[in-house]
Amino acid sequence: MVKVAYITLLGRSPWAVVNTYYKLLTRGGKAERIYVFTEERYKHNLPKVVSAIRAISEAYNLHPKIETEVVPDYGFFVADRKFRELFSKLEREGYRMGLDITSGRKALVAAAIVQIKEFPVSFIVYMGLLDTEFPDRPYMMIPTHLQPIKNFLGDESEGD
């Protein structure tokens, strides 16, 4: 059985993190470990994001280990090192990685993508929001056709 570690990047929008995770679960995705990376300026959102991920996971009878990592604002050098260390550790432990870049800011997204390319990756996803009238709502309260998801590795994408 393939073990999956889910890495998500928290930027301005906690809902983007939570809704993308929820959408992937509705499509059969699951992870044994979840890592939420963010910059210092967004760390105040970590408790509610972790709580939401935990609640959604439990609704699917999943109990992943959830860890967080805060890097300095614009800390792409620190992020680059931390991603490399995490991905190396996960590879040694037999994990494949899934990366959600939906909410991430450029410095974190670039560092994560540059580092993950050397490791066993299952997916790199981005979920769009086609109508800005719905920015701060739960996934199920937004019409699904307004939330297309793209896996940049090409295995699955949805452009409803």
Cβ count near 129 (within 10 Å) = 18
Q: What pLDDT score was predicted for residue 33?
A: 98
* pLDDT tens per residue across span 105-126: 988 999 999 999 899 999 999 9
Cβ count near 152 (within 10 Å) = 14
Tokens of 103: 């909410």
Strand order in the sheet with 157-158: 65-71, 33-39, 3-10, 95-100, 121-127, 149-151, 157-158
| Model confidence at 156: pLDDT above 60 | no
- Residues 122, 98: contact at Cβ < 8 Å? yes
Domain architecture of the chain: domains with CATH? 4-151 (3.40.50.10770)
